[in-house]
Structure 1
């Protein structure tokens, strides 16, 4: 896992632009704390920061390799899980290897198959290859966008980087945000339109796509997409297939030459990942497996059960750790820590994000890094199997809009009138929604209810899962921790995508087919536990702390928030009791305290990046 950056330009000699590349990769040092390197030629320059996970000696980058009179250069962020299979096939085709790294295998795969190599990859990745003889730059991103990759074109040039901060470090890029970029932050945030980079002119390579840049310009193309087809397996066959696909995904993703752990909340998803990881550790003679969970100071006193978070995690995590014999670690975060980390989390993400959820994950990962370099997460099972409440109950959140965005009217009432110029919130969100639904892979003859459920799944995979993957990558890589997500294995997702809703909800439960697949794998109390999201603090002191910090910001005439929000209405909201401040901001995903935390992040972003609103 690493950070990458690059610059190609047809009208400029880049052979002496090493200092600029050093500037671009410097903000990525946390992603790659182990090593760094640059490579420059006439029209292309690459930079790389490395987190060594496999072949700690032989995987240095940028990696250069020649075949005949052609020279290829690679920078790569990610991990291939089918390295050995690819290596065997390439060896049979006459290639020899000098390292044990997946980096070399990826480079040789591109040399052999060109852009078609992407169809053969199983892993998480964002990479760039420069073909010196062909004078072309190739960029590609994994199927679900687990690894980020942004770019900006400027006439004869293109810049790319793992994070927005790498592009903003280039002297030709200004931190300008136009009305559309601000609409992304204010109306869709923390989600973003797939491919949108918020800053003016910045895009991201879409998941499952590649980009080719040559003297003719930029060309992008998908190399993978979901396909809808009839599902013919019965319940028993389906459950067995899900179990084996997940087991194999976990087994593949344990590859590493550094310590590997799992996140373990005691929920269905993380428990499944941990159970299969512990099984593989025993079979491989590795172990014991270390597991990690998170909690908050005094949550035992202040926890409030509700439909979205019915019970705390700690007892279930303990049950799982004991049943599997793992070495379990619980990280407890206190309120001052959490509040202080809000600004840091926004700067890690380069944008206002999921407030305390981001900050808590950053603090959590920082502790895990003390004992591991790779961690497996149960993230994305709810998007793949349909675990969220909006899949299961009627109401406005299941209407013809993004189910996690509710009451745009309440949201915009807190904003300055006309803050996004001619762009109206309702129109902007409606257009993004309709554009996404138009891309849903349809199954001819599907019943209307099933067709609508398929739309919901696509919306969640394309938008909400992308948001969580972005959060997962940024907060973990900010401390040099590689987070892997077995539920995003494309072989598993392709199969589950076509399981009909009646089977996905087998037994009348959310994620019922997954629960059935895990029968005998997990303790019954865990297997049948209701869904519970990433935990949050319930301490009333957190509300008071973020509220008071926002009020202090608004007392400063130089505060950038004054141009965005109506200070009088925010102050009125702050005068309400803690229980009365819950807003329909992100459905059930942002409470009143989280709104104040988000404002802290918004101010930090505007100030730190010196955002210019144009």
Structure 2
């Protein structure tokens, strides 16, 4: 995994602007701590930071190849899991390779097939490729958007990078935020609308999109979209297909030339991936799998069960590590560490995120990085297989809004009157919901319940899942750790999306078809454990710490946050007894402590990035 940046400019000689390219590239050092490189020509500048995973000695970027007086230059972030098959096919067509890395496979695939090469890729990727003969830049992003790609279109100029910070290092990109950006921060966030970069000048290449940048402009197209198709297989056939697809996906993603591990919470998803990894390691004689878990000081004393977190993870982690015989590493963090990392987590995203859920993941990834360079994680299974409680609640299915936005009205009440009148928060979230629903393809003859469940699945895969993928990419890459997400294999996603809800919930259980497909892989009690999400701290010390810090910001009087919020109402919330609740009282995804921590991140962001609201 890596980070890249650069720009195209048809109006200037970029060879005289190398210092700007160096500065932009330097912002991505955490994403690629192993190597740095730049390439510059009169109209194209490319920068790259590398995290070496496959063929560390020979995969340097920007990677340059020439053929028939044409020069091809590639900067790339990601992994191609079908690189061996592609390489064999390309060799059969007369292509020759000088490395064993997938970077060269991607570059040669473009040389052979042109832009249509992306349709052949199985992996997670974002890249930019300069073709000197065509005098154009070809860019693409993987089908599910695991790897990020931000860009800014300006007159005669196209600026891009793996993270907003790289673009903001270019003099032409300013940290300005308008009404859309504020609505994303205060109403939509952290489930940011795909394609919206929050900053006024920033856009995001959508998952499954590619584009050609030339003198005529930027020509964007979709090479992949989530499509609705009939599903005719029986429950047993479907379970076998799901199990086979997941096994193949995991085994492809276990390839690495550097130490690899799995993240293990003791839940269905992470336990399944770990078990498949252990089985594969045994079959191939690769030794013992290392596993990692995260928890918090005194969580065992303060944990309270609720719909989104029905039980604690610790006993289940011990159950799985004992059953599988992994070498386990349990990471435990305390309140001062979580609060202290809020700032670094915000910087990793270049904007406010998921508060302590972000900061704890960043700390977790930093500890993992001491032992491994690549980790396997169970992200996306709940969005794909329908594991969240809102898939199973009539109020969420019939709400006429995103299920994670049921408390949008409460969030809107926390804005200042001027800001609320400017951004029209409820209208904004309503429009984004209608945009999303309009994209859903329904099959002829679908009944009302089938339409509802397909719509809910589509919203989760295309709107909520990117939030978690963005979080995982940004927090892990901030410390130079590559995280792979097997449940995001596009073959698996395409197949499961079209499984009828009655089959998807086989055995009258959430994610029932996944459980059935994993029979024989996991112990029965783990296989049928109720869903439990990424763990949060339940220690009241965390609430006290973030509440005190937020009250200090409110009392200081100079914070750029104050004109944007209803200071009186937020002060009342912070000082109320309700603030002590760790249940998700502030909407579906934000507890009192998370709200206060999130507002602290907004304050940090406005100050650090010198954000101009206009």
TM-score category, normalised to shorter length = over 0.9
Match of 1:478 in 2: 478
Helix, strand or coil at the partner of 1:418: helix
CA contact (8 A) 2:74 2:130 kept: yes
How far off its partner does 1:180 sit?
1.1
What is the alpha-carbon distance in structure 2 between the residues aligned to residue 441 and residue 93 of structure 1?
38
Match of 2:59 in 1: 59
> Is residue 2:311 matched to residue 1:322?
no
Give yes or no for the alignment of 1:194 onto 2:181. Answer: no
Distance 1:363 1:164, change over 3 A: same
**For this pair of structures, how many residues does the alignment match?**
614
Q: CA deviation at 1:578?
A: 5.1
CA contact (8 A) 2:391 2:397 kept: no
Report the counterpart of residue 570 of structure 1 in structure 2: 570
Query: CA contact under 8 A between 2:136 and 2:213: conserved in structure 1?
Result: yes
TM-score (ref. length: structure 1)? 0.98
Structure 2: distance between partners of 1:477 and 1:8: 26
Runs of at least 4 residues off by over 6 Å: 582-586
Between the aligned partners of 1:300 and 1:44, the Cα distance in structure 2 is 55
Cα distance change, pair 288–584 in 1 and its aligned pair in 2 (3 A) = closer
CA distance in 1, matches of 2:587, 2:520: 35
TM-score between both structures, scaled by the size of structure 2: 0.98
Q: For the residues of structure 1 that align with 2:30 and 2:398, how far apart are their CA atoms? A: 40
2:210 is matched with 210
Distance in 2 between residues matched to 1:260 and 1:306, nearest whole Å:
34
Partner of 1:284: 284
- 2:168 equivalent to 1:168: yes
Q: Provide the C-alpha distance between the structure 2 equivalents of 1:352 and 1:479, rounded to a whole number of angstroms.
A: 18
Measured in 1, the distance between the counterparts of 2:226 and 2:89 equals: 26
Q: Deviations over 1:441-469 (max 9, x none)?
A: 22121111111110111100111100000
- Give the whole-Å Cα distance in 1 for the aligned partners of 2:137 and 2:49: 19
**Alignment partner, residue 354 of structure 2:** 354
Residue of structure 1 in register with 2:137 after alignment: 137
Q: CA deviation at 1:439?
A: 0.7
| Inter-partner Cα distance in structure 2 for 1:395 and 1:172 | 46
Measured in 1, the distance between the counterparts of 2:418 and 2:243 equals 51
Are positions 1:267 and 2:267 aligned together?
Answer: yes
**Cα distance in structure 2, aligned partners of 1:285 and 1:48:** 35
Q: CA deviation at 1:538?
A: 0.6
Which residue of 2 is the match for residue 531 of structure 1?
531
- Contact 2:538 / 2:582 at 8 angstroms: preserved in 1? no
**Aligned positions of 1:284-433 closer than 5 A:** 284-396=284-396, 398-419=398-419, 421-433=421-433
CA distance in 1 between counterparts of 2:148 and 2:328 reads 31
State the secondary structure of the residue aligned to 2:535: coil
Inter-partner Cα distance in structure 2 for 1:284 and 1:41: 46
- Matches of 1:611 and 1:373 in 2, distance apart? 34
Residue in structure 1 matched with residue 91 of structure 2 by the alignment:
91
In structure 2, distance between residues paired with 1:586 and 1:494? 34
Q: Are 1:490 and 2:490 an aligned pair?
A: yes
Backbone CA RMSD of aligned residues: 1.2
Q: Which moved more, 1:409-418 or 1:216-225?
A: 409-418
Question: What are the ranges of 5 or more consecutive residues in structure 2 without an aligned counterpart?
Answer: none
Distance, in Å, in 1 between the alignment partners of 2:24 and 2:212 is 21
- Report the counterpart of residue 101 of structure 1 in structure 2: 101
Give 1:247 deviation, angstroms.
Answer: 0.5
Distance 1:391 1:521 in 2: 26
Structure-2 residue corresponding to 1:179: 179
Gaps of 5+ in 1: none
Aligned pair in 2 of structure 1 residues 579, 203: CA closer, same or farther (>3 Å)?
closer
